[in-house]
Amino acid sequence: MDRRALLTAIAGAAAAGACTRRDDDGAGTDRAGRPTLAIDSEGPGRWRIRSWQWRANAWRPRIARARRAGGKIEIDGAIDAADRAEVIARLRA
């Protein structure tokens, strides 16, 4: 392999490696590299929820608090709509 072929092969491999797959949910949001949903206990029947929303080309945290009241789970604050069902399921378990 001559020098020109070697450099072409290296450049081609670098270009192919730089391409990333985009997970598009149809709403124009990029889910690749999405931070994880976090639900932390703050005491009996109380939780802090950290969800993430894609806005302005960056992941932005959405913080909410949840508490169990009268057998129901009440969420105060905003969480990403994509995480709402998972949050309720995890808190009921």
State the pTM of this model.
Answer: 0.62
Q: Which residue has the higher pLDDT, 80 or 29?
A: 80
The one-character DSSP state at 85 is H
Per-residue pLDDT tens digits for 17-47:
554 444 444 454 455 688 999 999 999 999 9
What confidence score (pLDDT) does residue 41 get? 95
Number of residues assigned to the chain: 93
Q: What contacts 60, CB < 8 A, 6 or more positions away?
A: 52, 53, 54
Average pLDDT over residues 75-79: 92
Average pLDDT over residues 3-17: 74
CB 64 within 8 A of CB 49: yes
